[in-house]
Structure formats: structure tokens, C-alpha cells
Amino acid sequence: MDPAMLVLHSSPGSCALAPAIVLEEIGCPYRLAGVDFASGQQRTPDFLRKNPLGRVPVLEDDGLVLTEASAIMVYLARRFPEAKLLPEDDKGLAMALSFNSYLGSTVHVAHAHGRRGARWADEESSHADMRRKVPQTMRSTMALVEEGKLVGPWVMGAQYTICDAYLFTIAGWLEGDGVPLKELPRIAAHFAAMEKRPAVQRALAAHEGLRKAG
Ligand SMILES: N[C@@H](CCC(=O)N[C@@H](CS)C(=O)NCC(=O)O)C(=O)O
């Protein structure tokens, strides 16, 4: 393998789909390295050296080991500016970063309360309480996206950006979190438009390949 080749560590169904979509949109060569959650590969010493939190995504690029989906997407968009995946003006850039920060720090955390309650509490009764709350918090946090943050047709308006990859990834969790996508028609339309993009189809197929291999 070319040592300079980008490597994205990912797991099917995870937020690492978003940077995988960004890589596919850019069209640069990269390797998708599967992390098998079922066997606890994210907690092996080898993986913990890359991310001590034991989480995907992790991007490796020529000595750089980068965690956090939002940062990885910004890094990729700036490393490959010709793909035009970030607004160039200050206000547009700030709005894009604001949107992705909201998804990462608020919506993703609401989702994680469903399956990863042990991050925040020890008692099973606390985990059960957190799980019950997920449909409500996912609905209310995504309602803000539906009602204003998503400009349309893409998140930032006419320009397709890294925000679209992230929104698609998180919108894909809604049904499993007890929120029918049809209740959020603008997000549903965005989701359908994303599904038509060849880059999105390639990223999904690559993750399906990881699922079959795992
Ligand atoms: N804030 C991190 C969250 C990463 C995260 O929670 N990843 C999940 C998958 S979506 C994970 O690796 N979970 C494995 C575990 O908790 O064991 C980011 O945005 O990258």
C-alpha cells in the first residue's frame, strides 16, 4: 500500500459515513479500514493508539492521525479545495461550521443516548431512561434543521458542502431512533437527493462491503 494514501477508519452505520462521502465526492484515492464494533475492535490497543476514546472516524494522512468527524471533513475540504466543499466567504464558512458543530455536539449526542448510555451513567435504569428520551430529542433537535438550518436544496443553499454529507448520515439514523423521516419533509427531500449522488452510493456500497466482510 502507498504509505501516503489516506486511510479512513470506519464502521457500518457510524458517523464515519460522512467523511467517507466527502472522500468520494473529492475522488481522491483512499483506503476504508473497517473497525468491527461487534468484536470490540475499537477498544483494542492498536486502535486505542489512534483514538484513545475508541471511536470512529479516524483519518490517517501521511503521519497525521485525526479524530472527530467535523474536523476530518474540514481538513479534507481544505486539503482538496478544488472540490469546493466549503463556502469561501467568511460568513458562509462560519455558518457551515456552525451547522456541523450543531450536528456533532447536539444531534449526535442525542442519538448516542440510545445505545451508548454507559458513557454518561452506570445504572441500567439510567440507560433505559436515556433510551426512552431518544425519539423526543432526535425529533426536537432535527426539527431545528427542518425549520431553518437547512436552506435548500442543499444545507447551505445552492452550494453542496461537507454539511450535506453529515446531515445525510445523521438523517439515516432517524427511523431507527423512532422518528419517521416523512415527519420531516425537507430533510426527507434532502435525503432522497443525496441518495441519487454517485459519491453517496459509492460510500454506502463501501460500508456495505465492510458489513459483509465483518
Ligand atoms: N465526537 C465524535 C463521536 C464519534 C463517535 O461517537 N463514534 C461512534 C460511532 S458513530 C463510535 O465509534 N462508537 C464506538 C463506541 O462507542 O464504542 C465524532 O464526531 O467523530
What is the tens place of the pLDDT at every residue in 18-67?
A: 999 999 999 999 999 999 999 999 999 999 999 999 999 999 999 999 99
Would you say the CB of residue 18 lies under 6 angstroms from ligand 1?
Answer: no
Contacts of 51 (CB under 8 A, 6+ apart): 9, 42, 58, 65, 67
- CA-nearest residue for atom 5, ligand 1, is 55
What is the tens place of the pLDDT at every residue in 29-43?
A: 999 999 999 999 999
Which amino acid is residue 198, in one-letter code? Answer: P
- CA-nearest residue for atom 2, ligand 1, is 68
What is the tens place of the pLDDT at every residue in 79-136?
A: 999 999 999 999 999 999 999 999 999 999 999 999 999 999 999 999 999 999 999 9
- pLDDT higher at 5 or 46: 46
Would you say the CB of residue 19 lies under 6 angstroms from ligand 1?
Answer: no
Q: In this structure, what is the dihedral angle of CA atoms 117, 71, 166, 10, given to the nearest 10 degrees? A: -70
Supply the pLDDT for residue 151: 97
Asked if pLDDT for residue 1 goes beyond 60, the answer is no
- CA-nearest residue for atom 3, ligand 1, is 68
pTM for this predicted structure: 0.97
Q: Tell me the CA–centroid distance for residue 148 and ligand 1, in Å.
A: 27
Would you say the CB of residue 50 lies under 6 angstroms from ligand 1?
Answer: no
Would you say the CB of residue 14 lies under 6 angstroms from ligand 1?
Answer: yes
Contacts of 205 (CB under 8 A, 6+ apart): none
Distance in angstroms (rounded) separating the CA atoms of residues 183 and 7? 37
Distance in angstroms (rounded) separating the CA atoms of residues 107 and 110? 5
